[in-house]
Amino acid sequence: MSYLSHLECSYCRSTFDAEKLHTVCPKCGKPLLARYDLEHAKRSLRKEDLIGREASLWRYRELLPVHNDRNIVTLGEGYTPLIHATRSGARLGMGNLFIKDEGLNPTGSFKARGLCMAISRAKELGVEEVVIPSAGNAAGAMSAYAARAGINAHVFMPSDVPLPFRMECAAYGADVHLIDGLITDCGREAHALAEKNGWFDVSTLKEPYRVEGKKTMGYELAEQFNWTLPDVVIYPTGGGTGLIGMWKAFAEMQELGWIDSDLPRMVSVQAEGCAPIPRALAAGDEFAAPWEGAHTVAAGLRVPQAIGDFLILRAIRESNGTAIAVSDDALISSQHAMAREEGIFACPEGGATLASLEALLDRGEITRDEKVVLFNTGTGLKYPHSS
């Protein structure tokens, strides 16, 4: 069972019935977040109860939004390895460097975490057709879970999207539309057809449950480190769902009394060709202005404007963290270093985390004795054009 109690707007705090289908807040247009009866959960669920449960993100069942087991659509996502990066660490003079390898998820990226949850809840609430504008991994993950759920999937991708992403969606039986334009053009097109045909849009943070799937990365970090947290988490940020989700998970675990250590400093990494978050952080802004002419090989970071920008900036500031941009050359070279040194063929976005760590060590913003976790968010195998 689930302790899901209601939905709450992340901005204006209005509350809504979680048993109805929702997109963004009807009052202010910002993301809705799932809230749980943590008082009750605290009394009846102990972290020791997790021992022996299945090695997937569903081990946190009660703190996830799906009520009926019958509606769980799973491919075994989550509970990915947290690897001690001894050789990259030795090169950098660090004894406590770790890589959370999300490339091992179904469909090869951590998008599986969010989309398994969105599709499970969509199924629970009676949705029959879903749509997504995506430049890559999100479309593949949505198509796979929709296939498993028997829900029709519609995908809108820029026509220059790398072949593996396109092939994958078609293989899962999705209706694939290639659009001559950018991801924003795909978004417009998808939105128009969704309105017309009554399809449910599962764009990130425009429905409340993808972030619930991604928050499990925070629960896993705590559990895999025996209920302590690292000093620093470095996260390659596009829409920011994972960073927002982990920050939410840490707050929930504090309320549950599962952790009492200090929370990690959250570091958001973007590419120099699309860096709205570092720019807004430096300017002291609450929201991030859209980035003009966004370009980077790391497609997951090519998000010129994120609906959850203020939540990303809030988490960074509350955690005393930072945001940094790295060049495409640096992120590709770190992607290669991670493969040679650790046997992990990361996606370019994952490479960006290692590149940013080197820059932050040089600046003295991270010290060599700290415990640092890099998120490799996907496999390098889907980017034949950039490797």
Strand partners, 268: 235, 323
Cβ closer to ligand PLP: 45 or 378? 378
Q: Quick check: 111 binds ligand PLP (CB under 6 A)?
A: yes
Label the pairing between strands 232-236 and 4-9.
unpaired
Q: Quick check: 276 binds ligand PLP (CB under 6 A)?
A: no
Q: Quick check: 241 binds ligand PLP (CB under 6 A)?
A: yes
Q: Quick check: 105 binds ligand PLP (CB under 6 A)?
A: no
Site string for ligand PLP, 331-370 (x = CB under 6 A): ----------------x-x---------------------
Contact window for ligand PLP (CB under 6 A) among 17-25, 235-243, 251-259, 279-287 = 235-243
Q: Quick check: 77 binds ligand PLP (CB under 6 A)?
A: no
Cβ closer to ligand PLP: 41 or 374? 374
Candidate list 334, 377, 380, 386; residue touching ligand PLP; CB under 6 A: 377
Q: Quick check: 137 binds ligand PLP (CB under 6 A)?
A: yes
The tokens of 369 are what?
Answer: 């004795």
Kindly state the DSSP code that residue 126 receives in the 8-state scheme.
T
Cβ closer to ligand PLP: 131 or 135? 135
Burial 104-136 (b: 16+ CB within 10 A, else e): bbbbbbbbbbbbbbbbbbbbbeebebbbbbbbb
Site string for ligand PLP, 189-208 (x = CB under 6 A): ---------------x----
Cβ closer to ligand PLP: 172 or 258? 172
Q: How many CB atoms lie within 10 A of CB 355?
A: 27
Determine the distance from the C-alpha atom of residue 42 to the mean position of all C-alpha atoms in its chain, rounded to a whole number. 26
Backbone torsions φ then ψ of 325, nearest 5 degrees? -110, 140
Contacts of 261 (CB under 8 A, 6+ apart): 227, 228, 229
Cβ closer to ligand PLP: 156 or 258? 156
Residue that has been written with the tokens 């302790």 in this structure = 3
Cβ closer to ligand PLP: 179 or 303? 303
In contact, 298 and 325? CB cutoff 8 Å: no
Q: Rounded to an integer, what distance in angstroms lies between the CA atom of residue 260 and that of residue 255?
A: 10
Cβ closer to ligand PLP: 45 or 141? 141
Site for ligand PLP, rule CB under 6 A:
109, 111, 136-137, 204, 236-242, 300, 347, 349, 377-378
